[in-house]
Structure 1
Amino acid sequence: MEHGPRWGKKIVTALIVVLALGSIYWFGLRTDPKVAALNQAIQEKCSPALRDYPYQFRVLRREGAVAVMATPRSPAMPVYRMIGTIYPTLAGKSPDNPDFVAAEKELAKMQSEARKIVLHEPGVSEVKWELDKNWLISHGISLN
């Protein structure tokens, strides 16, 4: 019976792979409970308008007392480039269009509401915004 050493190596290899995958999950992929709690607070404490808004504002990570939140707009991504994704009827409209201006104000209002909810949670004293590149790319919006 020469199968013993080979099976032992396969078992050890399988255990190493399982431990490596478990470590990747534990340290890299699982959601930080503090971040999950902040995102849950947004869902539980938001207005119906924010709950139903086409873009879901969320906390990406915590950096001490700073909550880093996702946003579809920034100086690098002006509103006119992405507003048509949130409001398809505005695609291609001028930023001077009254409906466009109203939509821009609504986006700012929803972003402000999400920020206020997060700032009222324990341990958070500041919010930083980070461009939601994944959302933009998934909606066909070029980052260039």
Structure 2
Amino acid sequence: MDRLTRNSIIISAILLVLLIVSLAASQNELRPRVWQLNELLEDDPVLANYPYDFRVLLFLNGIVTLTSPHASEAPLEPFLAKVDPRVADKPAGSPEMRAAGQRFREVEMRAIQVMVSQPDVESVVWALDKAWYHKNKVPLGD
């Protein structure tokens, strides 16, 4: 086999492999599961209409780690005041603040439902989205 034929075969094989890989990737087979789960969150109409974007950080052994602006170490009221101007000047116990908190909890539950509707997802854990607080210049507290 001469050099030109050998190089042509090698280049053809490389192009064939690249074509197969690109076709498989376009059908979601090679995309990371975290990306696929994040697309589910983005495509959900309830979550899309809420001012906070829940994101999947990690998917491991059937457990999804989702970002949230609320956790035991961060009160919910500063977040609500930032995303909902109607409650910005309201005290924590006001009916408006309670309604905004209830809506947040409903949206948070929707994020859980979207995740556990997947056959390979068993549970969801939350991770405080400190980056959101930093980006929006909202103090986290003490």
TM-score, normalisation: structure 1: 0.72
Deviation at 1:127, TM superposition (A): 0.2
Shift of 1:89: 2.3
* Match in the other structure for 1:82: 79
Q: Is the 8 A contact 2:57 2:65 kept in 1?
A: yes
1:4-60 deviations in Å (ceiling 9; x for gaps): xxxxxxxxxxxxxxxxxxxxxxxxxxxx7100111111223x2x3321110011211
Mean Cα deviation higher: 90-99 or 126-135: 90-99
2:32 match: 33
- Structure 1 distance, partners of 2:108, 2:68, is 8
Tell me the secondary structure at the aligned position of residue 111 of structure 1.
helix
Letter in 2 for 1:100: M
Q: Give the Cα–Cα distance (whole angstroms) in 1 for the partners of residues 79 and 42 of structure 2.
A: 23
Aligned length: 111
Aligned pairs (5 A) from 1:36-115: 36-44=35-43, 46=44, 48-115=45-112
Unaligned runs of 5+ in 2: 1-30
Give RMSD over aligned pairs. Answer: 1.4
Instruction: Report if the CA contact (8 A) 2:63-2:121 is conserved.
Output: yes
Q: Which digits, 9 at most, give the CA deviation of each residue in 1:73-111, with x for residues without a partner?
A: 011111112211111221131111111111000000001
- Aligned-partner Cα distance in 2 for 1:107–1:98: 14
Q: Match for 1:135 among 132, 136, 141?
A: 132
1:119 is aligned to: 116
Deviation at 1:122, TM superposition (A): 2.6
Query: Runs of 4 or more off by more than 3 Å in structure 1?
Result: none
Q: Which amino acid aligns with 1:43?
A: E
Name whichever of 80-89 and 68-77 sits farther off: 80-89
TM-score normalized with structure 2 length: 0.73
Q: Identity over aligned residues, as a percent?
A: 28
Tell me by how many angstroms 1:136 deviates.
1.0
Structure 1 stretches lacking a partner, 5+ long: 1-31
Q: Distance in 2 between matches of 1:78 and 1:93?
A: 15
